[in-house]
Amino acid sequence: MKHAFVPPADLEPLVRHPKATGPGQHIGLHHSTCFGCGDDTPLGLHLKVIAGDDLSVTAQMPVVDWMQGGPGVIHGGVLSAAFDEVTGTAPLLIGAPVVTVHLEVDFAKPIPLGSTLHFEARILGKQGRKIYLAASAHLGDPEQIVASAHALFVTIDVQKHFAEHYDKRVIL
């Protein structure tokens, strides 16, 4: 698949955090009202991201009617949000809370309503606070990639980062 993203050649290799979620286990909620993973959002993606046995994660997402963009197919922004969530959760495997600074999505095939997207994301490496990831999605046949993404996240101090905007309405 064509893409324009070139990760640095000198990325530092990484290992799983000793307390990382075990392979095959659901990586717990970021918070319950998160658009990507929260259970308490009527119109959220409700993604359950599952830890792989290395530096990868997987997730599945049914493509339902409200996600529609072009007639009969998913909206590109919804797909991008799903990639953001799946790639953004993976750095928890190395114990790094992160926020997105850059996300690129390559749309290879139309993705029909009624299908199920299967996501896979993996950490490529890091450079200081920057964590580079690649992800892909298929509709059941891993050989037929329908979209892919590259993302760059930056590790944050969670308390400091959200202090200014944190609102008591958000249930953590």
Residues that bind ligand PKZ (CB under 6 A): 30-31, 36, 84-85, 88-89, 92, 97-102, 128-130, 152, 154, 156, 158, 172
Tell me the residue number closest to ligand PKZ, measured at CB.
88
Shortest CB 63 distance to ligand PKZ, Å: 19
Buried b (16+ CB within 10 A) or exposed e, 7-18: eeeeeeebebee
Nearest to ligand PKZ of 84, 120 (CB atom): 84
- The rounded Cα 163 to chain-centroid distance in angstroms is 24
73 or 81, CB closer to ligand PKZ?
A: 81
Q: How long a stretch of residues is the chain?
A: 172
Strand partners, 151: 103, 133
CB of 112 to ligand PKZ, least distance (A): 25
Closer residue to ligand PKZ, CB minimum distance, 73 or 126: 126
Torsional sign, CA 94, 60, 75, 150: positive
Residue found by looking up tokens 């998160």 in the block: 34
Nearer to ligand PKZ, 73 or 91 (CB): 91
Sign of CA dihedral 103, 23, 124, 30: positive
Tokens of residue 46, six digits: 């409700």
For the bound state, the minimum distance from the C-beta of residue 159 to ligand PKZ, rounded and expressed in Å, comes to 9
Cβ closest to ligand PKZ, residue 139 vs residue 154:
154
The least CB distance from residue 82 to ligand PKZ, in Å, is 10
Taking the complex as a whole, the smallest distance from the CB of residue 127 to ligand PKZ amounts, in Å, to 6
Rg (CA), the chain: 16
d(CA 1, CA 134): 12
